Chains A and B, each alone.
Chain A
Amino acid sequence: MADQKIAAYVCQGCGLGERLDTKALAQIAKTDGKAHLIREHEFLCNADGVATIQKDIDEGVTHIAIAACSRRSKTEAFYFPTVAMSRANLREGVIWVRPEGDEHQETTQEMAQDYVRMACAEAKKLVQPMGNTDVACDATVLVVGGGITGMTAALEASKTGYKVILVEKAAQLGGWAGKLWKRVPFKEPFADPADTGVEAMITAIAADGNIKVYLNATIAKTDGAPGRFMIDIATESGSVAQEHVGSIVQASGFTLYDMNKLPELGGGKSPHVVDQAGLEALAKAANGGAIKRADGSAVNTVVFVQCAGQRDDTGKHLSYCSGTCCNTSIKQAMYFKDQNPDVDTVVIFDDLRTPGNGEDFYRSAQKKGVTFTKGKVSSVEANGSGLKVVFNDLILGDQNATIENADLVVLATGQVPNSGVNIDPSKLEEETESVAEFKQISILNLSYRQGPDVPQLKQGFVDSHFICFPYESRRTGIYPAGPVRRPMDIAQATEDATGATMKAIQAIENAAVGRAAHPRSGDLSFPIVRIEGCTQCKRCTVECPFGAIDEDEKRYPVFNESRCRRCGTCMGACPVRVISFENYSVDSVGSQIKAVDMPDEFQEKPRILILACENDAYPALDMAGMNHNNYSAYVRIIPVRCLGSVNLIWVTDALNSGYDGVMMMGCKHGDNYQCHFVKGSEIASQRLSKVDETLKSLNLEPERVQNFEVAITDIERVPQLINDYAAKIQEIGMSPFKF
């Protein structure tokens, strides 16, 4: 670091020059910030300002601190990829959130001065990352599962010019769709069942030189990282083939909920009670003729029971709606009506849910004479050679409405994902009890330290960031698509497969240049561990939300940079602080905390540290500034990559150095989490629960450290939170740790 040359720039534009004493700020950069070069500029982001900076860089400046607007603004103007850069947020973070007027001037100016100190301190600790050197590029996509989703993914990847390995456990491609007689229509006029298109896809795949297909095959082992996965494929013959791929699309599909668990609805009790797969088999056997029962007898009346074993609030069956079965029953009723309009087809539903263009399809079925009855079926029993269906008619209020003479009953059971083994065995047990029997057989057999499959969220469906990043799983480079992600139909699965394929291609390309995937897209930094200081505590390997860190035989962490999303959760976890990034470290944040000028107790000017998530909380704070929503001048805000990256040493240091309070602002966690790194904010709040002890040992009030969930839309709420907290700190009184 001997040849560090730091330059600080103070901008006077956007009202900064009028509201602040920029000369004083420049002076601070020199005296406290120890910058070697200081410039004031009337409009720093204009061509002249940018040229000035660039000229300085060309003449040997290595680190720059820009005291102007938020780091989220003017990113194109202030783009200097060859040097380390920090930003002091004087616009959104100071003048726009502070009222004008002489009585506020002193505290506002102090705020700005501290941000200049912090920016200079941070800049010194940064190294411009040069990229992960552990790169590889196997430009092949592995697709696991040969149903509609998998076949679509394979064809789409091939069309884009990538090689594909397609692995299917059955003897032929097609999956669930291959078992269908017809599919729900996906084109105008959405009136009749349509050809599945499976045959055409199989033919296309056979003819595609980019796609290599393994049938009767499963994944025995998945090793490596994006760009360099090594896959062992176990085939029926017992031999194992090895393939090298860059990324994976997991299209392992679903299994129908087992109707044998529904004996009250006749499931498993009568050969004439079938699930939707059973009806498809009968329809395929009929091959366009009249659909017969298993015993070959004619069907005059068929009853479809919707929500069989679904939307169950007793905890016995699936609690969710699969969203596809209504359209499927409509389609299956049409199988009968189209062949013979005199067959009575009754669909007993509670809520008919027909997503997509299903409403047109529903109307078409009504026109064809399918009867739709709103009710809840209570029992299906044998009645002579037929079946007696008893239901609660919800429109007519008849608890014992009965269809005496059904020949066939179809139970619309739902989709259970083939998602493999969950990350947390204890959690899996709990859910298995309450819900369905999940496939305990691993799909991917990952050699990762955190488990053999992609982690699940709810009901066994693979965790994929529903709000921000669908297709993305918690294993970088592995993209679940289709019903393994959430219940869906063929049309949705096709779209899903296309999206996942794009992500898979992106992963290959990122891995090739050592770049992070979102949300820190393009970030070239990666975790660096000072292994000699490691105590083998395993916190980093356990807490990494993306399973990026394995362990070697001595239980030291082994980082797989291409799996890493650069959230810094490992850095936050490490008790001995040996993990860091070149451009983000315990030191780079810690030195900002320490750079703040701490007024003594008698000045009655509290200092509150805010550690704000850069994904939601920090933008919300910036937007509060844009809206000129004022907040206290006593706060000093530091953006963090994720609350998961917050190392408790920062909190302890802050309290020890006289801060009166610490606010942590992160994303919502839990089942409906909004954390961009899935687990970061949750882990942070768990860690924080241990801070109470620290506070106690320091003899401080628990309110001095508080955690808040903040969404990006909390533009009004965030200033309010700050002001309330500042008021509370005033109430508690100044910290005794000022010096």
Chain B
Amino acid sequence: MSDLNTQAVAKYRNNFLKEVEACVEEGDWVKMCMQCGVCSGSCPFGPHWDHPPQELFMMIRAGKREEVLTSSSMWMCTSCYNCIVRCPREIPITHIMHGLANYAHRLGLAPKNQPTRHFSGLFWNNIIKTGRVNELKLSLGLYFRDGLVSGIKVGMAMASVGIGMVLAKRLNPIELIKPHGCKDTKGIHAMLKKAREIEDRRKGLTAA
């Protein structure tokens, strides 16, 4: 158990709903779910969720902390926002799914080899470096996540796509050496550091 996790468990004892309300983006909407299941039926990746949103909400209310935070379910969210616009209770379900995933990730409870978790980390770290996406590095990072050999395999499989993109002038090999970027990276880094600091303080994610 990570320190942050131990801390959270102690603070909220057995009341997982309160913890979600305090620590998860839009978490105080969880109690408003009326269990109609429209979200579950509207999700493009619906069949791939172990626990669709409706169930996650019920599990949170039932205090099933471990099961929720270690679940791969919310990592299935494609951010299509179908659930949000269809929810008769107007619950920001997409945001809650993002929030749950983020919280589970920060507590170190999210599934280790979850590919979207991996990709999300890769993406964020990629953009904050220069302030803008480096698509090439991002793709390469993705291919090589499981090590060099596997990376070359995936890379080869995707090679035709990559070459096509280069030929279409939509992927630039120069990016590896001379990437796009913001001028004030220093400012951005300071800003993000501060933002993280505030958020961690608000959500109790500061190691004691």
Contacts and interface: CB of A to CB of B under 8 A. Distances in A.
Q: Answer whether A and B touch in the complex at a CB cut-off of 8 Å.
A: yes
Interface of A: 352, 362-363, 366-367, 369, 371-374, 393, 395-396, 401
6 contacts: A362-B34, A363-B32, A366-B34, A367-B31, A369-B31, A396-B58
Contacts of A363: 32, 89
A366 B32 contact: yes
Given A395-B54, A395-B55, A396-B55, A367 B62 contact: no
Given A363-B89, A395-B54, A395-B55, A401 B31 contact: no
A572 to B, nearest CB: 52
A373 B55 CA distance: 11
Contacts of A401: 62
A362 B36 CA distance: 14
Contact of B34 (A367, A371, A372, A396): A372
Question: Interface centre among B35, B61, B62, B89, by most A CB within 10 Å?
Answer: B62
Task: Among A362, A372, A401, find the residue whose CB has the most chain B CB atoms closer than 10 A.
Answer: A372
Nearest to B21: A369
Interface in B37-76: 54-55, 58-59, 61-62, 64
Contacts of B54: 395
Nearest to A396: B58
A369 B64 CA distance: 17
Contact of A373 (B32, B62, B64, B89): B62
Contact of B61 (A362, A367, A371): A371
A401 B34 CA distance: 19
Nearest to A365: B31
A371 B31 contact: yes
Contacts of A396: 55, 58-59, 62, 64
B35 A372 contact: yes
A374 B54 CA distance: 11
Contact of B58 (A366, A369, A374): A374
Nearest to A371: B61
- Chain A interface main SS type: mixed
A211 B120 CA distance: 75
Nearest to A398: B62
A374 B55 CA distance: 11
B58 A367 contact: no
Given A371-B61, A373-B61, A374-B58, A395 B32 contact: no
A369 B62 CA distance: 13
Contacts of A367: 31-32
Contacts of B17: 371
Interface size class of B (residues with CB under 8 A): 10 to 19
Given A393-B62, A395-B55, 6 more contacts: A366-B31, A373-B61, A374-B58, A393-B58, A395-B35, A396-B59
A372 B60 CA distance: 12
A18 to B, nearest CB: 59
A363 B58 CA distance: 16
A373 B63 CA distance: 12
A372 B64 CA distance: 15
A395 to B, nearest CB: 4
Contacts of A373: 58, 61-62
Contacts of B64: 396
A192 to B, nearest CB: 17
Contacts of B34: 352, 362, 366, 372
Contacts of A352: 34
A352 B61 CA distance: 17
A396 B64 CA distance: 11
Contact of A395 (B31, B58, B89): B58
A374 B36 CA distance: 10
Interface string B123-165: 0000000000000000000000000000000000000000000
A113 B55 CA distance: 74
A334 B54 CA distance: 24
A668 B129 CA distance: 78
Task: Please indicate which of the listed interface residues A352, A366, A373, A401 has the most CB atoms of chain B within 10 Å of its own CB.
Answer: A366
Interface string B5-46: 000000000000100000000000001101100000000000
A196 B54 CA distance: 36
A366 B34 CA distance: 9
A380 to B, nearest CB: 18
A367 B29 CA distance: 8
9 interchain residue pairs of minimum CB distance: A395-B58, A366-B32, A374-B35, A366-B31, A371-B61, A396-B58, A395-B35, A395-B55, A396-B55
A396 to B, nearest CB: 6
A371 B30 CA distance: 10
A395 B39 CA distance: 14
Nearest to A349: B35
A626 B97 CA distance: 60
A6 B58 CA distance: 80
Contacts of B58: 373-374, 393, 395-396
A366 B31 CA distance: 6
A366 B28 CA distance: 10
A429 B35 CA distance: 41
Nearest to A359: B34
Nearest to B30: A366
Contacts of A369: 31
Nearest to A369: B31
A352 B55 CA distance: 17
A352 B34 CA distance: 9
A104 to B, nearest CB: 57
Contacts of B32: 363, 366-367
A156 B64 CA distance: 54
Contacts of A372: 34-35
A401 B54 CA distance: 17
